[in-house]
C-alpha cells in the first residue's frame, strides 16, 4: 500500500545528524563492478530504496549482490549478460550507468531506456555520441539503447554540456579501451571524482578527475577492490536548509564542506551562522531568513537537486527571491505544490519569482521526485497545522531514515498508510 507523511509544523530542528554515502555515487559504483570478474565491496552505502533496485539490475545481468546494511558486495561472473531489460531499469534513471561497463566488458549492450524522476527530459544523445567516438555503434530500438563494439579505441571527446551520466558512461567504457581518451567539458561533481578513485583502485589509469578535462589511459583488465562511498552532499544540503528554514541548529557530519561551498554561502547571505569542519559543518539560524537569489548550474555551481529546498526557504524569507533553473526544465513543477501551501510564487520560463510570506498553511501536497518530496517536508515543518505529503516512495529513494532523523532532531513527522 502507498504511504504518506504527516508533517506537523512549528518545531525547531536541533541536534547532530550523520550523512551516509551518496545516492548519486553508490549506484554508479555498483555498475562499475561489472568491469571485472570477482567481488567488489562498497562501504558507507546509504540504506535507500535505489540500492536494492540497482541490485536487481545487476542480478539480472548475472551478478550476485549482497546488501549487509551499509556494506554492499557485488560478485561479477566471468561472463556477464549484456541485456538490462525494462522491468529491471524502469524505476530509476541511474540504471543507465550499466551501459558503459557492458560495452567495455561484453562488446555489446542492450539497456532499456530508464525511468526515474519527473524533472524533465534527459536524453542519452551524449552517452551515445561518446561511445561512438570510442568505436561503438549505437541506436535506439524497441525502447532500448543498443551499443556494439568489436573494439573500443581511445579518442578525444568534447561534451556539449558537462553531463554527469555521459561522463560516467564514457569513463567506464574508456578504461578498457585501447589507447588514450581525453574527455573535455567533463562533469566535475564529487561523485565523478569518487568513481574515478574507485576505478583507479581497480587498476585504471585516470587523471584530471574534478577538472573539466579527464584523461583515461586504457588498460587490458581491472581487478576487484574495496571502496568507501563519498558522503551525500545533497542529503547534507537538505539538512543545512532544514536548519535554516526552521530557525534551528543542526550539525552535519560525514561530508566534506567544500562539496557544498556555494549552498552554504547562500545560507550565510540569508542570515545563518555557518561553521565548517574537516568532516562536516554546523548551521544555526536565529532569525527569519533573508531573500537570496539562486541560479542552478553544474558543480561547482548551486546544485539543481537543492533547488526545491531553495524555493521552500525563499517562500518564508523576508523579501523577493529570483531562482533560475538551468539544468532540468520541469523542476518547477514543485512550485505548484508550494502554491497549495500558500507560497507567493510566479514561474516565468526557467525563472521563478518568490515573494516571501509570514507563514505557510498546511494542506495535502504531492511529491513528483526525490528532492521535491524532501522540499515539501521542509515546507511542512514551518507550515501551521498538519501537512500531508503523498507519493513518499520518491523520498525513500534518496533519504535514508528520513522520518526517524527528523523526529530525533525535534521535528514532528509520521509515516502512515495512505
Which pLDDT tens digit goes with each residue over 103-115?
Answer: 999 999 999 886 5
Domain boundary (212, 228, 244) is at: 228
- Looking at the fold, whether 314 and 407 belong to one and the same domain comes out as yes
Is the pLDDT assigned to residue 118 strictly greater than 70? Answer: no
Which pLDDT tens digit goes with each residue over 234-271?
Answer: 999 999 999 999 999 999 999 999 999 999 999 999 99
Is the pLDDT assigned to residue 310 strictly greater than 50? Answer: yes
The residue-averaged pLDDT of 226-232 equals 98
Residues at the binding site for phosphoenolpyruvate are: 23-24
Angle, CA 22 vertex, CA 20 and CA 26 arms, to 5°: 110
Non-local (6+) Cβ contacts of 278 within 8 A are none
- Looking at the fold, whether 43 and 133 belong to one and the same domain comes out as yes
Is the pLDDT assigned to residue 373 strictly greater than 90? Answer: yes
Helices marked H in 341-401 = 370-380, 393-396
pLDDT over 90 for what percent of the chain?
A: 87
Residues at the binding site for UDP-N-acetyl-alpha-D-glucosamine are: 93, 305, 327
pLDDT of residue 8: 98
Residues at the binding site are: 23-24, 93, 305, 327
pLDDT of residue 329: 67
- Looking at the fold, whether 256 and 223 belong to one and the same domain comes out as no
**Left, alpha or beta for 179 (phi > 0: left; psi -120 to 50: alpha)?**
left
Phi, psi of 124 (to 5 degrees): -100, 15
Is the pLDDT assigned to residue 26 strictly greater than 70? Answer: yes
Residue 397 CB neighbours (<10 A): 21
pLDDT of residue 210: 97
pLDDT over 70 for what percent of the chain?
A: 96
Q: What is residue 95's DSSP assignment?
A: G
Which pLDDT tens digit goes with each residue over 342-372?
Answer: 999 999 989 999 999 999 999 999 998 999 9
For the chain, the domain total comes to: 2
pLDDT of residue 64: 98
Measured CA to CA in angstroms, residue 68 lies from 11, 48, 80, 403 at distances of 35, 13, 23, 21
The residue-averaged pLDDT of 165-184 equals 97
Domain boundary (228, 259, 280) is at: 228
pLDDT of residue 209: 98
- Looking at the fold, whether 134 and 71 belong to one and the same domain comes out as yes
217 noted as active-site residue: no
Which pLDDT tens digit goes with each residue over 4-20?
Answer: 999 999 999 999 999 99
Confidence label for 121 from pLDDT (cuts 50, 70 and 90): very low
59: domain range? 23-228
Domain boundary (228, 252, 267) is at: 228
Which pLDDT tens digit goes with each residue over 134-146?
Answer: 999 999 888 889 9
- Looking at the fold, whether 327 and 369 belong to one and the same domain comes out as yes
What CATH number corresponds to the domain at position 70? Answer: 3.65.10.10
Of the residues 56, 64, 68, 117, which is catalytic? 117
- Looking at the fold, whether 146 and 256 belong to one and the same domain comes out as no
- Looking at the fold, whether 413 and 318 belong to one and the same domain comes out as yes
Amino acid at each position: 500500500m502507498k504511504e504518506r507523511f504527516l508533517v506537523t509544523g512549528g518545531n525547531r530542528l536541533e541536534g547532530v545528524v550523520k550523512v551516509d554515502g551518496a545516492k548519486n555515487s553508490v549506484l554508479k559504483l555498483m555498475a562499475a563492478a561489472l568491469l571485472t570478474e570477482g567481488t567488489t565491496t562498497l562501504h558507507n552505502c546509504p540504506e535507500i530504496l535505489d540500492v536494492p533496485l540497482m541490485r536487481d539490475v545487476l542480478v539480472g545481468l548475472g551478478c550476485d549482490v549482497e546488501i549487509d546494511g551499509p556494506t554492499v558486495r557485488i560478485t561479477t561472473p566471468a561472463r556477464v549478460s549484456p541485456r538490462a531489460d525494462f522491468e529491471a531499469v524502469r524505476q530509476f534513471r541511474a540504471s543507465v550507468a550499466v551501459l558503459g561497463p557492458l560495452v567495455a566488458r561484453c562488446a555489446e549492450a542492450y539497456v532499456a531506456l530508464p525511468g526515474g524522476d519527473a524533472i524533465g527530459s534527459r536524453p542519452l544523445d551524449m552517452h551515445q555520441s561518446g561511445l561512438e567516438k570510442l568505436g561503438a555503434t549505437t541506436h535506439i530500438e524497441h525502447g532500448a539503447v543498443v551499443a556494439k563494439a568489436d573494439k573500443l579505441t581511445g579518442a578525444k571527446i568534447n561534451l556539449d554540456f558537462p553531463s554527469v551520466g555521459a561522463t560516467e558512461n564514457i569513463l567506464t567504457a574508456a578504461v578498457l579501451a585501447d589507447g588514450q581518451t581525453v574527455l573535455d567539458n567533463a562533469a566535475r561533481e564529487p561523485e565523478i571524482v569518487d568513481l574515478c578513485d574507485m576505478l583507479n583502485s581497480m587498476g585504471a589509469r585516470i587523471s584530471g578527475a574534478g577538472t573539466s578535462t579527464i584523461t583515461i589511459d586504457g588498460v587490458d583488465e581491472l581487478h576487484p577492490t574495496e571502496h568507501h562511498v563519498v558522503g551525500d552532499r545533497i542529503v547534507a544540503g537538505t539538512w543545512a536548509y532544514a536548519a535554516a528554514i526552521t530557525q534551528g541548529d543542526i550539525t552535519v557530519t560525514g561530508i566534506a564542506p567544500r562539496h557544498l561551498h556555494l549552498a552554504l554561502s547562500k545560507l550565510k547571505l540569508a542570515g545563518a551562522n555557518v561553521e565548517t569542519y574537516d568532516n562536516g559543518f554546523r548551521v544555526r539560524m536565529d532569525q527569519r531568513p533573508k531573500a537570496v537569489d539562486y541560479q542552478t548550474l553544474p558543480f561547482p555551481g548551486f546544485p539543481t537537486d537543492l533547488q526545491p529546498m531553495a524555493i521552500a526557504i525563499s517562500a518564508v524569507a523576508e523579501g523577493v527571491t529570483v531562482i533560475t533553473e538551468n539544468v532540468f526544465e520541469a523542476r518547477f513543477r514543485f512550485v505548484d505544490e508550494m502554491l497549495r501551501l500558500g507560497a507567493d510564487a510566479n514561474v516565468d520560463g526557467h525563472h521563478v519569482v518568490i515573494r516571501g510570506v509570514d507563514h505557510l498553511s498546511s494542506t495535502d501536497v504531492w511529491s513528483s521526485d526525490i528532492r521535491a518530496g524532501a522540499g515539501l517536508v521542509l515546507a511542512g515543518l514551518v507550515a501551521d497545522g498538519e501537512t500531508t505529503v503523498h507519493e513518499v516512495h520518491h523520498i525513500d529513494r534518496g533519504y535514508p531514515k528520513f522520518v526517524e532523523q527528523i523526529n530525533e532532531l525535534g521535528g514532528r513527522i509520521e509515516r502512515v498508510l495512505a
